[in-house]
Amino acid sequence: MKRQKKRQQGVYGKEERLFDGMIYIVLFLVLALMVYPLIYVVSCSFSDPLLVLRGEIRLLPRGFHLDSYAAVLKENKLLRGYMNTILYTVAGTLINILLTTTGAYALSCENLRGRKMITRFIIFTMLFSGGLIPTYIVVSNLNLLNTMWSIVLPNAVSVTNFIIMKSSFENGIPKDLKEAARVEGCSNIGVFTKIVLPLSKSIIAVMVIFYSVGHWNEYFNALLYITDKAKQPLQVILRDILISNELTEMMGNVNQLNSETRAMIAEGMKYSTIVLSSLPMILLYPFFQKYFVKGVMVGSVKG
């Protein structure tokens, strides 16, 4: 009997180790599929454009140089797009957090009349929307075209983030703590600013990540509502560079070069532009990473 138990335990240990090994292999493959394109783009941006055109770049950069970055950073159009995107991202994220936190807190209060019906109406918008043309007509009639508000206001609240925040306020903040604050004479606004917000830093940090990344990558609404090139965000300018023929305009100071050299410079500028447009969000994420898992999971289990 003892030998049989030892054998069973040994077999189970081998199976468990085999299963863990398979999980690690799958995770490594998924990681490689996600990381390799990023490494490839960065390597191409630092490599000799001629080698990039020939398809000789596999993983690490070859023929290291910074000429393409110098050419991109000299372009006023990209710098203007950067400033516009930073403005839209900061203003939009502040409005998103303000509306999401205040609305979610109001609907998390049990003494609010009709809060279940209001919540149903909000969830209804996840399934049905007015559509592209009606939304454009509304934005146009409000005289928001070619303004920052045409990008910020239509996406002022994400229903998914709103529900996550509401669930966090309901299940992540002890009711006794809020009741004790009210007994001490604290108003609803006082409870919200002095109790709820300080205890919700994790979920707010997660919402900042979600909203800021969304605004930074905003493309379609900007392409639809903003036709003034001086107000276009970085992603629209990046689209013009990568898809349209904007590179020929940006390379006006090298028009005297032959077509092969110009193609090499253009290829390097494409990858450099992609890296520069993605860099701010990549640098921002590590500062909020510690809040990410905690913020998403808070309020997911009641009790």
Average pLDDT rounded to a whole number, residues 179-190: 82
Contact (Cβ atoms closer than 8 angstroms) between residue 152 and residue 88: yes
Q: What percent of the chain has pLDDT over 90?
A: 12
Higher pLDDT, 258 or 64: 64
Residue 20 has a pLDDT of 85
Taking Cα atoms as reference points, which of 145, 169, 152, 275 lies closest to residue 218? Answer: 152
Separation in Å, CA 215 to CA 63, 132, 212: 35, 19, 5
At 142, which helix (H) or strand (E)? none
Residue 235 in tokens = 């992603």
Residue 242 has a pLDDT of 67
Contact (Cβ atoms closer than 8 angstroms) between residue 197 and residue 108: no
Q: Using 50, 70 and 90 to split pLDDT, how confident is the model at 246? A: low
Per residue in 30-77, pLDDT (tens digit) is 988 888 888 888 888 888 777 777 777 887 888 787 777 877 777 777
Q: Match 């990568």 to its residue by tokens.
A: 242
Taking Cα atoms as reference points, which of 259, 238, 274, 278 lies closest to residue 68? Answer: 274
Is the confidence at residue 93, as pLDDT, over 90?
yes
Higher pLDDT, 18 or 251: 18
Lowest mean pLDDT among 8-22, 179-193, 271-285: 8-22
Q: Match 């007015």 to its residue by tokens.
A: 130
Residue 295 has a pLDDT of 53
What secondary structure does DSSP assign to 60-126, as a single string? S-SS---HHHHHHHT-HHHHHHHHHHHHHHHHHHHHHHHHHHHHHHHHH-TTSTTHHHHHHHHHHHH
Domains of the chain: 1-65 (no CATH), 71-238+282-297 (1.10.3720.10)
Lowest mean pLDDT among 47-61, 73-87, 128-142: 47-61
Calculate helix-pair angle for 76-108, 259-297, nearest 10 degrees.
20
Q: Using 50, 70 and 90 to split pLDDT, how confident is the model at 303? A: very low
Lowest mean pLDDT among 13-22, 107-116, 215-224, 293-302: 293-302
Read off the pTM: 0.76
Q: Using 50, 70 and 90 to split pLDDT, how confident is the model at 302? A: very low
Residue 99 has a pLDDT of 93
The Cβ of residue 202 has, within 10 Å, a number of other Cβ atoms equal to 20
Residue 261 has a pLDDT of 61
Residue 102 has a pLDDT of 92
Is the confidence at residue 299, as pLDDT, over 60?
no
Is the confidence at residue 216, as pLDDT, over 80?
yes
Is the dihedral angle over the CA atoms 21, 27, 33, 36 positive or is it negative?
Answer: negative
Calculate the average pLDDT of the chain: 80
Q: Using 50, 70 and 90 to split pLDDT, how confident is the model at 197? A: confident
- Residue 44 one-letter amino acid: C
- Residue 263 one-letter amino acid: A
